[in-house]
Amino acid sequence: MKILSLFGTRPEIIRLSRIFPLLDKNFEHIMVNTNQNYTKELNSVFFEQLKIRKPDYDLKIRTDAYGKEVAEIISKSEDLLKKESPDLVLILGDTNSGLAAIPAAHQNIKIAHLEAGMRSYDPRMPEEKNRVLIDHLSTVLLPYTPYSRENLIRENIHPSKIFVVGNPIIEVIEHYLPQIKKSDILKKLKLKKNDYFLITAHRSENVDDVNSLTTIFLGLEKIYKKFNKKIIYPMHPRTSSKLVKKIKIPNGIEIIAPLGFFEFSNLERNAFCLITDSGTIPEETLYFKKPCVTIRNTTERPETIESGANILTGLDSQNILESVITITSQKPKWQWDDSLGDGQTASKVINILRGKLY
């Protein structure tokens, strides 16, 4: 049986990294990189660190224009699916790379969606539209948590198609924890444990709008004045290209290039607090038991909020500051519940796919 896995962004590559070897072992496995994140720092460095084999195909998506990117992904994946005729397409997440589900469904190819059922219930988010579409085109739905499973059932997806598998980030972190701990990134940046903030902000609604980006930096400036701790910002190329032209960087904020998985994870596990607009970072900080605030009004990962590990701030500089004060001053209580992942996601996925294809 032939499975085609398709991916293109940093979180997808990382979370699939322990699944790829098992796909190679158990199936005829075709790996396809859309290269949606096409800089070395955002793509190939993760193949090198996580020892992922060379993909069979590179779709070479090379545009930040939404319409062109979606059109290229659909068109190029359609041609590839006709050529390879896989029995199943495996997709993780909600990025535009996952829209290969459209030509797959059109060709009556089975689709398995890992990370199914996440809902922010914010229709303005491009990812929300993607994840709903991919879920309703999928044959096999693989949510991380029981909460996501219930979301799918509420949308009239039959329970027989849904299998909770846990979050794959756990086994990735645990497998590579020795290398993460060996990273000398703190020494290179002259940082002390628990004495710096780490921020990631890359969402288009935040970094494509100068006023929004200015608000975020105003919040960071307030945090630095309050805590007197350096703020480390590994900056996405999308952000840096806009920032250099239009915004003055406040004191206390150090802009650095994007990092590899080992370096970034080591910064995460040793930070005083994380500030992000990402959906995946709060999962990682929950595992590392580090406080996190998310610069958004909604999240598709409410489990991170319910655990006490994450606070939503909205796009307001004072709220960002007050949320950081709140989460760093309260007694740590966040716990990684086994329902979020037990380190066995890869083997569960393989067993489910074997059952569906053989």
* Positions marked catalytic: 202
Tokens 């921020």: give the residue. 199
- Distance CA(120)–CA(129), nearest Å, equals 10
Run of H or E including 310: strand 310-312
- B/e letters for 200-233, b = 16+ CB within 10 Å, e = fewer, are bbbbeebbeeeebbebbbbbbbbbbeebebbbbb
Cα of first residue to Cα of last residue in the chain, in angstroms, is 8
Burial status of residue 182 (CB atoms within 10 A of its CB: 0-12, 13-18, 19 or more): exposed
Q: Where are the alpha helices (DSSP H) in the chain?
A: 10-16, 20-26, 44-49, 66-84, 101-106, 126-137, 146-154, 169-182, 185-189, 204-207, 210-227, 237-246, 261-270, 281-288, 302-306, 317-329, 345-357
CB 202 within 8 A of CB 238: yes
Q: Are the C-beta atoms of 167 and 144 separated by less than 8 Å?
A: yes
Radius of gyration of the chain from Cα atoms? 20
Site of tokens 């606070």: 311
Lay out the sheet containing 196-200: strands in order across. 253-256, 230-234, 196-200, 273-276, 292-294, 310-312
